[in-house]
Amino acid sequence: MKAVTYEGVRKMTVSNESRPKIDSPTDAILRVTTSGICGSDLHMYDGRTPLEKGTVVGHEIMGGIEEVGEAVESIKKGDRVVLPFNISCGYCFNCHRGHTEACLVMNPEEPHAAYGYAGMGPYKGGQAEFVLVPHADFNCLKLPGKPGDEWEDDFLLLSDVFPTAYHATELACVAPGKTVAVFGAGPVGLLSAYCSLLKSASEVYVVDYIPERLQKAEEMGATPVDFSKGDPVEQIFKLRKKNKGMQQSLRPGEEKMKGVDCAIDAVGYQARDDENPDKEKPTQVLQNCLKVVNATGSIGMIGVYIAPDPGAKNESAKQGIFPFSLAEFFDKGITMGSGQAPVKKYNEYLRDLIVNGKAKPSQIVSHHIRIDEAPEAYDKFDKRIEGYTKVLIQFDKKAA
């Protein structure tokens, strides 16, 4: 079968790999119809996360069940399913409490597992024609419709980006009427803004500097903020001050609430310097979140922070250690949540929003490609050029 493999820094190759076989009676084999290239795949692509050469990558996966083990009861051959990027057992202490992002069983080294990702267990990825699904009864989300229909792109985003974005809004305590600032207009940032709007946030600002992404944020109903045109926090303060209805509603003293109730870091450790976007400044977004959130507000840190990071500029950063204004954090009484999304906590409900026409996450999809085009797509996605925002690999019926 064809599969995308990592062959070194900024080098992905389409290789011929052996088709997976069932190892356990609880396994299933999925023939992939669509797989996504995720922004977190770029951490490996850029050499910022150690990965063994020859690894089949890809953790955003959907398709049709080709074969099931004898112990699989609720999923059968021909079923259309999407896989959470978290691989989980369903029965350990964390899984029982809904923390499938921290399964204690599936990765012998760490409390989390995923398809085709560094440090997340021995599982092959799904940017391939077939993939092995452990504990299929638990890890498969059954879907309606047929491959290639109007829901194909939407359902694929249930594997990671849509639930991850929704989780970001949960971490940031987004609720009806609240004001939100999202830093980063990549796929997760855009859908974090979208999920904030689904939750009836009253104002949503999206900060980035790439024109196509800011335009998409505006199309989705958010207010774009271009940090290349000045301090994004000050821009948000000024935009909020122009809202006459809100300003006229303030009692004396409440003018101190210049910022927002909730902020979302959808960038992580590869954040760009506001004053020089060509350079990295790992703490830039966190600093902005601290500044823009009003006292007693909340921050959701969904952007990835990883150690070790071989590409970091100093020894502390290589170990994931960064300066943080703890005094400001304490003084403002801010709450902050972080970590991977427990996809299974949300994916059934988000699926039903899609099916019933209440959500259309696929509006962020920018490109559809064939698997042979994947190496070029990685390069363009990494460079943020030609509008590359969310790339989906489609497999035709013959290949599948």
Q: Let me know whether 71 and 176 are in one domain.
A: no
Computed over every residue of the chain, the mean pLDDT equals 95
Question: Tens digit of pLDDT for each residue in 90-131?
Answer: 999 999 999 999 999 999 999 999 999 999 999 999 999 999
Confidence label for 312 from pLDDT (cuts 50, 70 and 90): confident
- In a domain? residue 182: yes
Q: Let me know whether 184 and 300 are in one domain.
A: yes
Q: Let me know whether 197 and 246 are in one domain.
A: yes
- In a domain? residue 171: yes
Q: Let me know whether 215 and 96 are in one domain.
A: no
User: Is a pLDDT exceeding 80 seen at residue 398?
Assistant: no
Question: Tens digit of pLDDT for each residue in 379-391?
Answer: 999 999 999 999 9
- In a domain? residue 252: yes
- In a domain? residue 311: yes
**What's the rounded mean pLDDT across residues 350-365?**
98
- In a domain? residue 400: no
Q: Let me know whether 330 and 382 are in one domain.
A: no
In single-letter form, the type of residue at position 303 comes to G
User: Is a pLDDT exceeding 70 seen at residue 41?
Assistant: yes
User: Is a pLDDT exceeding 60 seen at residue 44?
Assistant: yes
Confidence label for 133 from pLDDT (cuts 50, 70 and 90): very high
**What's the rounded mean pLDDT across residues 44-54?**
91
Q: What is the pLDDT of residue 338?
A: 96
Q: What is the pLDDT of residue 399?
A: 38
Q: Let me know whether 274 and 313 are in one domain.
A: yes
Q: Let me know whether 258 and 137 are in one domain.
A: no
User: Which one has a higher pLDDT value, 228 or 310?
Assistant: 228
Residue 93 backbone phi and psi in degrees, to 5: -55, -45
Domain boundary among 315, 338, 361: 338
Question: How would you classify residue 225: left for phi > 0, otherwise alpha for psi between -120 and 50, otherwise beta?
Answer: beta
Q: Is the distance from CB of 127 to CB of 393 less than 8 angstroms?
A: yes
For residue 400, give both structure tokens: 């599948």
**What's the rounded mean pLDDT across residues 163-184?**
98
Question: Tens digit of pLDDT for each residue in 147-160?
Answer: 999 999 999 999 99
| Percent above pLDDT 70 for the chain | 99
Q: Let me know whether 366 and 307 are in one domain.
A: no
Three-state secondary-structure class, residue 122: coil
Instruction: Quote the pTM value.
Output: 0.95
Q: What is the pLDDT of residue 108?
A: 93
- In a domain? residue 41: yes
Q: Let me know whether 150 and 174 are in one domain.
A: no
If one counts the domains in the chain, the total is: 2
- In a domain? residue 203: yes
Q: Let me know whether 175 and 323 are in one domain.
A: yes
Domain boundary among 323, 338, 353: 338
- In a domain? residue 399: no
Q: What is the CATH classification number for the domain harbouring 88?
A: 3.90.180.10
Q: In terms of residue numbers, what domain contains 320?
A: 164-338
**What's the rounded mean pLDDT across residues 15-39?**
97
Q: What is the pLDDT of residue 400?
A: 34
Question: Tens digit of pLDDT for each residue in 272-308?
Answer: 999 998 899 999 999 999 999 999 999 999 999 988 8
Q: What is the pLDDT of residue 308?
A: 85
Contacting residues for 15 by C-beta, under 8 A, at least 6 apart: 2, 3, 4, 5, 54, 56
Q: What is the CATH classification number for the domain harbouring 306?
A: 3.40.50.720
Q: What is the pLDDT of residue 49?
A: 87
Q: Let me know whether 8 and 133 are in one domain.
A: yes
DSSP string, 344-376: HHHHHHHHHHHHTTS--GGGG--EEE-GGGHHH
Q: Let me know whether 198 and 75 are in one domain.
A: no
